[in-house]
Structure 1
Amino acid sequence: MYMLVNCSNCHAPLQLPPGATSNYICCAICHAITYIADPRSAPPPPALSYSSSSHYRHYRPPPHPFRVAAPSPFNHAPPGPPPAVHGPKRAVICAVSYKNTKNELKGCINDAKCMKYLLVERFKFPESSIVMLTEEETDPYRRPTKSSMRLALSWLVQGCRPGDSLVFHFSGHGSQQKDYNGDELDGYDETLCPTDFETQGMIVDDEINAVIVKPLPHGVKLHAIIDACHSGTVLDLPFLCRMDRSGKYKWEDHRPRSGVWKGTSGGK
């Protein structure tokens, strides 16, 4: 059974797997070290020793399990306390080619490189504020797994404030699965497929909406470009623009019958 605890710094949910040999866990987002007081596996009380210069007892702290915390893959700040925000322009660009599988796609990584070039050269996004997730990356946090995509999406909106411009680009497979909470008119949730979707599952539109749509405050803009099947409603927005080949369009009301608001908190 997994133990759940929030990061002591950024409050992200963390899991301590069964059989873990340490009561310390390193947050994958901010890399802060959190101590977990688990009575089932807690270490023995720290040893007390006498000081050579007095008869008072002094606490000898246990050695820190991590000498130097590695820099977070989603925080481009210099050493020291992390800033409140990551810059007014930032983007997450994700390309999944499913290489060497039956689901392999051609051109997705090229799409990602072209999008990065556009953002940097045309729209002046700092390269340091663009997180690229592709299978070409050697860093496991930079590969488009379900876990890495979730972390990157959370990073994208973290600390956003009026005037910020955010971009999410995805090129890969999209799919559908049965809607279990009754908020879809057609009875199906739309999904994005990370590299490990066959074992870890897909990322559902409900989660995408909750992570990068609902938190957007007034004055923040998000552009999402999704090149995948079933992508038309993958952000689970309250309204859908239906356009035909002649350019004629109409707005469809996709608000859940439950009355739950699926829009932003004021952002665009």
Structure 2
Amino acid sequence: MLMLVNCSNCHTPLQLPPGAQSIRCAICHAVTRINNNSSYNTHHQHQQYPPPPVVTPSPYNHVTSFKTPNAHGRKRALIIGVCYKYSRHELKGCINDAKCMKYLLINRFKFPDSSILMLTEEESDPYKRPTKYNMRMALYWLVQGCQPGDSLVFHYSGHGSQQRNYTGDEVDGYDETLCPVDFETQGLIVDNEINATIVKPLPRGAKLHAIIDSCHSGTVLDLPFFCRMDRHGKYVWEDHRPRSGMWKGTSGGEAISFSAGCDNYQTSADTTALSKITSTGAMTFSFIQAIERGHGSTYGKILNAMRSTIRNADTEFSGGLTLVPSLINMLLTGGSVSRLTQEPQLTANEPFDVYTKPFSL
């Protein structure tokens, strides 16, 4: 049975392989040594912390081998599309989502092409395939050298999942995860790691927007505040800060996430019901449509437009709902049709008025 221990430096839960005497944290790179006399609980209850860690002096010095765009632009984006080709988990629209999101960022929000890193299975560069290792390194890259005034975007389209949380820092008792293309052999990327990698380091004056198109993605960035909105547009911010008191916010910066389901239990749709042309993620498509159709002035307007697009998909299927022309040539062919049941929603590091706060990337 795998043993769950906490990193002795950042306290991130780590799964200790059977028989191992130490483990290196993927987030802070501290080495946690296991004291055989300590009472680690193999049933994943509260753990005792081992002796002080040994920390490598420069945990990200190997990032130079990760061939990416320049990491010092004012605008920077990481876009990941995972289709799990030739497997029983295959999705049809995720690479389309990635291409459309890149097109939107470049043409609508003036992101330099050189500041956008894409990981998809179509990439010939082995460092740009959406493996667990590459996704982790890309997340580090996204916040590397981040300064006040920087605008960061993280877009993910692919499978998401859940796993039991044993540290008490999840309201629903589950950690949310992203599924790399090699997740069956290398494992999942857990929300705790995502939070520690791209949320906590954000300095004051910097902002991060995430658009997550996957199942169980309501709180995949582990942001502490959750916007609960009803079908009439009324909303309330729910406090999802862990009872343990662990801080899940930023270092003064701003982090806001649009996710594919308003709750962690909701699933996302890989569908042709929206574009009528090819498979897309419903979350990604509705976000792009909201921006392109002029509903991008505030977060509330974007959210309501996204929800309207998804709710009306079935009734508009025969009515010719189409992509704006500028995006048609970005799409490929293929696809399955599924019923759309998710409700896009917001999470953030701090509550705000969604109808007055301007949206900008």
Q: Same fold (TM over 0.5)?
A: yes
Aligned with 1:147: secondary structure?
A: helix
The residue that corresponds to 1:137 in the other structure is 123
Match of 2:64 in 1: 30
Equivalent residue, structure 1, for 2:259? none
The DSSP-based 3-state class of the residue aligned with 1:91 is strand
Q: Which residue of structure 1 lines up, in the alignment, with residue 59 of structure 2? A: 12
The answer on 1:256 being equivalent to 2:234 is no
Q: What runs of 5+ residues in structure 1 fail to find an aligned partner?
A: 15-26, 32-71, 77-84
C-alpha displacement at 1:244, in angstroms? 2.2
Residue 242 of structure 1 and its aligned partner are, at CA, apart by: 1.3
C-alpha distance in structure 2 between counterparts of 1:243 and 1:10, whole Å? 45
Q: Percent identity?
A: 71
Alignment of 1:42-81 (within 5 A): 72-76=66-70
Q: Structure 1 residue 87 and structure 2 residue 73: aligned?
A: yes
- Deviation, 1:3, is 10
Q: Which amino acid aligns with 2:67?
A: P
Counterpart secondary structure, 1:232 = coil
The 5 Å alignment of 1:78-157 reads: 85-157=71-143
Tell me if the contact between 2:69 and 2:116 (Cα under 8 Å) persists in the aligned partners. Answer: no
**C-alpha deviations, 1:67-106, integer Å up to 9, x for none?**
xxxxx41253xxxxxxxx5211010000000111111111
Pair 1:186 & 2:220 matched: no
1-structure distance, mates of 2:57, 2:204: 23
Distance 1:128 1:217, change over 3 A: same
Q: Which structure: greater helix fraction?
A: 2
| CA deviation profile, 1:155-192 (whole Å, cap 9, x unmatched) | 00011001100000000011100002110111100001
**Whose Rg is larger?**
1
C-alpha distance in 1 between matches for 2:244 and 2:23: 33
Cα contact 1:30–1:75 (8 A) shared by 2: no
CA contact (8 A) 1:75 1:86 kept: no
> Is this contact kept in 2: 1:241–1:251, CA < 8 A?
yes
**Structure 2 residue aligned with 1:246:** 232
What's the CA shift for 1:246?
Answer: 2.2
In structure 2, do the counterparts of structure 1 residues 254 and 110 end up closer, same or farther at CA, with 3 Å as the change threshold? same
Aligned equivalents of 1:251, 1:164: Cα separation in 2: 26
Query: Residue 218 of structure 1 is aligned with which of 197, 204, 209?
Result: 204
Unaligned runs of 5+ in 2: 1-19, 31-55, 255-361
Q: 2:146 aligns with which of 124, 136, 160?
A: 160
Assess if the C-alpha contact under 8 Å between 2:69 and 2:114 holds in 1: no
Q: Cα deviation per residue 1:178-236 (whole Å; 9 max; x = unaligned)?
A: 00211011110000101011111110000000000000010001010000011110010
> What's the CA shift string for 1:16-55, capped at 9, x where partnerless?
xxxxxxxxxxx3x113xxxxxxxxxxxxxxxxxxxxxxxx
Would you say how many aligned residue pairs link Structure 1 and Structure 2? 205
Contact 2:69 2:117 survives alignment (8 Å): no
Structure 1 position 203 matched with structure 2 position 179: no
**Could you tell me which residue of structure 2 aligns to residue 232 of structure 1?**
218
Over aligned residues, Cα RMSD in angstroms? Answer: 2.1
Which range moves more in the overlay, 209-218 or 237-246? 237-246
Give the drift of 1:265: 0.7
Aligned equivalents of 1:225 and 1:233: distance in 2? 12
Instruction: Work out which of the residue numbers 170, 177, 198 in structure 1 matches 2:163.
Output: 177
